[in-house]
Chain A
Amino acid sequence: MAQFDPIEERAVEMLDDLHLEAVRAETVGDDDERFEFILWNLCLRGVPVIERVCATRGKALGLSEQEIELATEDAAARMLLRLSRPEPQPQVHALAAEIAAACVERSWPSEGGGGPRLSPQTPKLRLVSGLTEAIESGKARPNDWESS
């Protein structure tokens, strides 16, 4: 990575997301040596979002820890690609979330043909003691689809 005046580096780090994106769009096509540093800073702001989205959505979809980590790596590389485009990009957190969601939701080999994925959690059932006696004594009624 190119070396900069520390004051300039600090100035870049202190920019808010919108300003940093504006500087990225300005430097991306100009062969500007600051571009790499700007890209690095934008990515560092997007990575925590990627990590969080992949972890939460990945768990909800039943992906393994390893699959979640792979989706995180995939999303990080794709965010770099997106931020290399000359067109203005959405705010980095929104961009990172969008890319991470797409990476988690792609079809995974473990899905076995992309069929519907069932929740990995076993249903929590609770036995109610004394239910039979309650039904017999009329205190409770069995479920009846016609009357309920």
Chain B
Amino acid sequence: MSTGDDAFERVFWQALNDLKQGTDKPIEEYLRLVPREDRTELSRLLADVLLARGPAPVPDAPESEGYRRAVAVVDGVLGSRGSAGILPGALKAMRNARGIEPERVVERLAADFQVEGEEGRRSLARNYHRLETGSLLGSKLSRRLLQSLAAVFEVDPAELLAAARPARNGPALKSVPAMGRSAGERGPASDLDRASLPDPEVELVERLFHGGPDA
């Protein structure tokens, strides 16, 4: 690379940096820094950049608390993107912003899916907590669960479905074995078998959170 090329590139990036930081100088000052024969090309490049950038923003009031909090939400939700996409972070952020306690969400889910027993409710609470903390696979969440959550948070179910798409580099999770599957041709369950069978409500909850879209 020649010295002229080097200077050209350096000045171009300097102009971009200045533009980005709002400290840009008149274009002539940048043009003066490159050899005469390169000025037309640099001016054309900078004109393209300015055209793409559009009008400069109007100087605004200093960042408000609301602005800072909104950016913090975006940052937090994107930062927590994982095996269930941005869904965990978004649910938590909306819940906090709307002052909804996790227990209320669990109550609503329990009502929607007619989970009345203690075990079933405990399983709902546990799984919802795991969902919000990003420990579940988005691809295993059932559509009817997302529909119910969408009603709680007053959003379109399609948005929750899209948000649950796993991030590319999300942590690899072990899949949870589906519960209550048919064991094939077997005789009637013995007393021992019956004792170890999962609670039907727990089984339902497991299907909702781990059984895939059609569960």
CB distance from B161 to the nearest CB of A (A): 9
* CB-CB under 8 A for A84 and B165, given A76-B93, A78-B94: yes
Residues of chain A within 8 A (CB-CB) of B162 are: 28, 81, 84-86
Q: Tell me, yes or no, whether A33 is within 8 Å of chain B by CB.
A: yes
Q: Tell me, yes or no, whether B177 is within 8 Å of chain A by CB.
A: no
Do B169 and A73 have beta carbons less than 8 Å apart?
Answer: no
Main secondary structure of the interface of B (DSSP, over half): helix
Do A80 and B86 have beta carbons less than 8 Å apart?
Answer: yes
Q: In the complex, which residues 81-127 of chain B have their Cβ closer than 8 Å to any Cβ of chain A?
A: 81, 85-86, 89-90, 93-94, 96-99
A-B contact count (CB 8 A): 111
Residues of chain A within 8 A (CB-CB) of B165 are: 84
- Which of A43-51, A124-132, A134-142 makes up part of the contact surface? A43-51
Do A81 and B78 have beta carbons less than 8 Å apart?
Answer: no
Q: Tell me, yes or no, whether B47 is within 8 Å of chain A by CB.
A: no
Selected contact of B69 from candidates A1, A39, A72, CB within 8 Å: A72
Residues of chain A within 8 A (CB-CB) of B69 are: 69, 72-73, 76
Q: In the complex, which residues 134-172 of chain B have their Cβ closer than 8 Å to any Cβ of chain A?
A: 154-155, 158-160, 162-163, 165, 167-169
Selected contact of B73 from candidates A13, A32, A77, A86, CB within 8 Å: A77
Q: Tell me, yes or no, whether B53 is within 8 Å of chain A by CB.
A: yes
Q: What range describes how many residues of A lie at the interface?
A: 35 or more
Q: How far is the CA of A69 from the CA of B63 in the complex (A)?
A: 13
Selected contact of B74 from candidates A44, A70, A109, CB within 8 Å: A44
Do A31 and B86 have beta carbons less than 8 Å apart?
Answer: no
Q: Tell me, yes or no, whether B52 is within 8 Å of chain A by CB.
A: yes
Q: How far is the CA of A78 from the CA of B153 in the complex (A)?
A: 10
Do B67 and A51 have beta carbons less than 8 Å apart?
Answer: yes
Do A69 and B159 have beta carbons less than 8 Å apart?
Answer: no
Residues of chain A within 8 A (CB-CB) of B52 are: 14-16, 19
* CB-CB under 8 A for A73 and B154, given A36-B167, A68-B66, A82-B159: no
CB distance from B162 to the nearest CB of A (A): 4
Do A76 and B78 have beta carbons less than 8 Å apart?
Answer: no
CB distance from A4 to the nearest CB of B (A): 13
6 A-B Cβ contacts within 8 A? A32-B168, A51-B64, A51-B70, A73-B73, A76-B70, A76-B74
Binding site for B on A (CB under 8 A): 1-2, 10, 13-16, 19, 28, 31-33, 36, 39-40, 43-44, 47-48, 50-51, 54-55, 68-82, 84-86, 106, 109
